[in-house]
Amino acid sequence: MLTAIVGINWGDEGKGRMVDLLSQEYQVVARYQGGNNAGHTIYVEGEKFVLNLLPSGILRPSVTNILGPGMVIDIAHLRGEMERLAARGVKLSPENLRISGKAAICLPAHVRQDCLEEERLAGEKYGSTRRGIAPIYGDKYMKKALRMEDLLEPQRLERRLRQLLEWKNLLLERGYGAPGEDYDETLRWLRENGAPLRPYICDTGVYLEKAIAAGKDVLFEAQLGALRDIDYGIYPFTSSSTTLAAYAPIGAGIPGRKLERTIGVMKAYSTCVGEGPFTCELFGEQAEALREAGGEYGAATGRPRRVGPFDVPASRYGVRMQGADQLALTKLDVLSFLPEIPVCTQYTVDGVSTQDFPSGGSLERARPVVERLPGWGCDISSCRRWEELPAAARRYVEYLEEAVRCPIGYVSVGADRDAYIQR
Ligand code: GDP
C-alpha cells in the first residue's frame, strides 16, 4: 500500500503524531518535500521528540526512513538532529535512514539570503522561518543548487560550489551590499557536515522500487499543509515546495507510482504561523485562551501561532487539493474548555457569500461568517472509543465531516501515541 499523510490546513495539524501512529503498519516512511522549516512534535511514552528533517518513522526501529529528492537539506541541521537522537538511544544506520543523492543542499548562504530579504522587505515581509528554504528552492530551479550526491564526489563538489558562490556573491555583495560567502569556509562546512552523512546517501528510487516489489508498505509524510502549497496555497505566503499528496511519489523518488490512499490531517480549529491572509483569525482574549489551550507555539521557531475557529471553506479546499480519501481530526480535546464552539462556515467577499476558497486579492478581502455549535464542557482526553465521546463532541465531528465532504476515520484527543479514537 502506498499511502500519503498530508496536511489539510496551514500546517501544524499534528501530521507527525499521525505518521508516528500509523507508521506501525508501514515498513517505510518517506519525506518528499520541504526542509527544516517546520517541526513535528511526537510524544512517545511521555518523552518529547521534535523532528525537523527526519521522517517521523525514525522513532520506530523497524521502519526504514527516506529523505527524498524533493527535499532541501541543511546538512549541519540534519547532522545535529541525528546526533541528538542517537544520544537519546534512537537507532540510526544506513539501513533505516536513506538520503536521496538528488536532494538539494541548503547552505549558510541560503540562510543569509533569506534573512537579508526578510529584512529588506521589513513591513511587507513574508514571515519566512529564515531557514533558507525559498533561496535554495529558487537556486534549484535556477539549476545552481548543490545536491547530496555531490558530497560523494569531492572534485565535482568543489567545481559546483565555485560556480554557485560566484553567482550567489553577485547578489549578496552587489545586490544587498552584504559580505559575500567565502569559498574555503563553505567548502569546510560542506566537508565537515557532509562526512558523517555520506554513508546514508543513495538512490532512494531504486530502494523504494525494490521495497515495493518485495511487498513493503510505504507511508509518505508531508510537511506543512495544502494552504502552504507553492501553486495552490495562499501565494505568496506559501512554502516554496509542493505540499500536496500528488507530488509524494515524485518527491520521494518513484514518479511513476500512484498513491493508493491519502489521509488528510485536519485540526479541530485553525492555526497559522507567519504572515498572510488568515480569514478566520481570532484576536485578544479569545485568541489567547485558544492558543494557551492548544499550546500553539511553533515547533521549529517557538513563534506564537495565529489561531481561529475551524474554517470550512479553507478546509474543504484543502481536502479537495489533497484528494483525501479519509481524514484524521486532531486536537479535539483542546476545544473542551469552550461552552460554544465557533465555526467559520463561509466567507463574504465584496458582499457576496461563498463557500469556495478564494485566491489573491479576493482572499485578502474575504470576511468570515461564524456560527456556533454546542460545546461538551468536559475533559475528553481519556476517551478511546467513539461512543465514549459526549454527544456534542460527536456532533461536532459529524458536522465537520459533512462540511468538508470527507469521512473522519481517526479522532485524536491528546498528544500521546494512544490518545486517539478510530471510528
Ligand atoms: P505537525 O507539524 O503537523 O506534526 O504539527 P506540530 O507538531 O507542529 O503540532 C502538533 C502539536 O500538537 C504537537 O505538539 C503534538 O504533540 C500536539 N498534538 C497532536 N495531536 C494532538 C491532540 O489530539 N491533542 C493535543 N492536545 N495535542 C496534540
For ligand 1, atom 26, which residue shows the shortest CA distance?
414
Q: Whose CA is nearest to atom 16 of ligand 1?
A: 415
Asked if omega into 154 is within 30° of 0 (cis), the reply is: no
Interior CA angle at 309 toward 304 and 315, to 5°? 100
Locate the ligand 1 atom nearest the alpha carbon of residue 268 and give its number. Answer: 23
pLDDT for position 37: 86
Q: What is the pLDDT of residue 2?
A: 97
Peptide bond connecting 339 to the previous residue in cis, omega within 30 degrees of 0:
no
What pLDDT is attached to residue 399?
Answer: 98
CA–centroid distance, residue 400 to ligand 1 (Å): 19
> Among residues 20, 40, 74, 217, which one is catalytic?
40
| Per-residue confidence (pLDDT) for residue 299, from 0 to 100 | 66
DSSP 42: E
Q: Look at residues 266, 264, 268, 267 and name the one whose alpha carbon lies nearest to residue 342.
A: 268
Task: Provide residues with CB under 6 Å of ligand 1.
Answer: 7, 12-17, 38-41, 43, 299, 330-331, 333-334, 412-415
Instruction: Please tell me the residue having the least CA distance from ligand 1 atom 23.
Output: 331
Please state the length of the chain: 423
399, with CB counted inside 10 A (0-12, 13-18, 19+), is middle
Q: Tens digits of per-residue pLDDT, 92-128?
A: 999 999 999 999 999 999 999 999 999 998 888 877 8
The answer to whether residues 268 and 389 touch, using CB atoms and an 8 Å cutoff, is no
**Can you tell me which atom of ligand 1 is nearest the CA of 419?**
23
* Nearest protein CA to atom 28 of ligand 1, as residue: 415
DSSP annotation of 179:
P
Return the pLDDT at 22: 86
According to the model, what pLDDT value does residue 335 have? 98
Supply the DSSP string of 310-377, one letter for each residue: EEHHHHHHHHHHHT-SEEEEE-GGGGGG-SEEEEEEEEEETTEEESS---HHHHHH-EEEEEEEE---
| Cell numbers describing residue 259 | 498513491
- State which residues of the chain have pLDDT below 50: none
For ligand 1, pick from 330, 333, 383 the residue to mutate: most ligand atoms within 8 Å of CB. 330
* Annotation marks residue 40 as catalytic: yes
Ligand 1 atom nearest to CA at 19: 4
Q: Considering the candidates 12, 150, 311, 325, report the single residue annotated as catalytic.
A: 12
Mutate which of 12, 13, 17, 40 for ligand 1 pocket (most atoms within 8 A of beta carbon):
17
- Exposure of 398 by Cβ count < 10 A (0-12 exposed, 13-18 middle, 19+ buried)? exposed
Is 333 part of the annotated catalytic residue set?
no
Q: Give me ligand 1 centre to Cα 395, in Å.
A: 22
Whole-prediction pTM: 0.92
Kindly list the structural domains of the chain, giving each domain's residue range(s) and its CATH number in brackets, ordered by start.
Answer: 2-100+203-263 (3.40.440.10), 104-196 (1.10.300.10), 266-422 (3.90.170.10)
In angstroms, what is the span from residue 276 Cα to ligand 1's centroid? 22
Helix (H, G, I), strand (E, B) or coil at 273: coil
Quick check: helix, strand or coil at residue 147?
strand
Quote the pLDDT of residue 88. 94
CA of 314 to the centre of ligand 1 (A): 20
